[in-house]
Amino acid sequence: MTLAVAVRRRLGALDLDVAFEGPEQGVTALFGPSGAGKSATLAAIGGVARDGSVRVALGGEVLTDTAVRAFVPPERRGIGWVYQDARLFPHLPVRANLLYGKRRAGIDRGIGEAEVVQVLGIEALLPRRVAELSGGERQRVALGRALLSQPRLLLLDEPLAALDGARRAEILDFIVALKARFALPMVYVTHSPAEVAALADHVVRIEGGRVVAQGAPAALGFAGEETAEVVEVAGAAVVLRGLGGGLRPGDRVRVVRG
Ligand SMILES: Nc1ncnc2c1ncn2[C@@H]1O[C@H](COP(=O)(O)OP(=O)(O)OP(=O)(O)O)[C@@H](O)[C@H]1O
């Protein structure tokens, strides 16, 4: 189910002009600095922004084509969204939040509650109230709710940005597991090279509203594994030299001695 996207939008001072094709079933990362136009591209894919000149086709079905005034409303696109903040319904328990998407979907693409609950490890959270969840737990529930809406495409807008380092690594592992378990295409907005390396099959690098490079993550310098040298050990603190950019305080790295 290839995703073909061409978006031209005028956004204040930014002249957005982005085109790419995402792989079937894999993760396409939209990577770039703040203000590059990543979220604005996502909004056009989801049909929540209607301005500009846009063509979006998923598996051959045209969702938007402004040239011929074709436009499928957002709620009929079969798209699941996950945002930086989980946006759960605070008045509903976790399970009701999860099932909200499923009830509204009106279609069954075979994504079952038990399977989603198991992959995301949220069984124990089901009876709880949203106010009783941590940020990471909320994001797991938000991922589950999006999946249970039976989407054929998931759009994730910096889903880890509001979490601390340890929690980011944990939720990233869950998203990697979802990718392996559910054959869904995803478009994933991030400015973290580590997330691109861990998750993406295709990366579209966007700067100033333009695609400056796209291709396989390794070809664009997003290495899955990097080697670092220990230069100093002071008590519990270890200073490493040689790791690429993108690490932030609180990030975790896997150590293989050798
Ligand atoms: N409807 C709009 N009208 C005018 N300007 C807009 C509109 N939507 C977005 N912009 C501007 O377009 C630019 C790109 O915004 P966008 O949110 O797509 O960036 P981004 O790459 O997702 O950045 P971030 O990583 O900070 O979310 C920003 O400067 C933003 O202020």
**pTM more than 0.90:** no
Does residue 178 sit in helix, strand or coil? helix
Strand pairing of 27-31 and 186-190?
parallel
85-124 pLDDT per residue, tens: 989 999 899 999 999 877 776 788 889 999 999 999 999 9
The rounded mean pLDDT for the chain is 90
For atom 29 of ligand 1, the residue with the nearest CA is 35
CA–centroid distance, 27 to ligand 1, in Å, is 22
Work out the pLDDT band at 202, boundaries 50, 70, 90.
very high
CA–centroid distance, 154 to ligand 1, in Å, is 20
CA-to-CA distance for 4 and 19, rounded, in angstroms?
A: 8
CA–centroid distance, 180 to ligand 1, in Å, is 31
Residue ranges with strand state E in the chain: 3-11, 14-22, 27-31, 53-58, 61-65, 70-71, 79-82, 153-157, 186-190, 202-207, 210-215, 229-234, 237-241
CATH 3.40.50.2000 for domain 3-215: no
The closest alpha carbon to 154, from 108, 119, 186, belongs to: 186
Query: Interface pTM (ipTM) of the complex?
Result: 0.90
Name all residues whose Cβ lies below 6 A of ligand 1. 11-12, 14, 32, 34-40, 191
Q: Taking the domains of the chain in order of start, what are their residue ranges?
A: 3-215
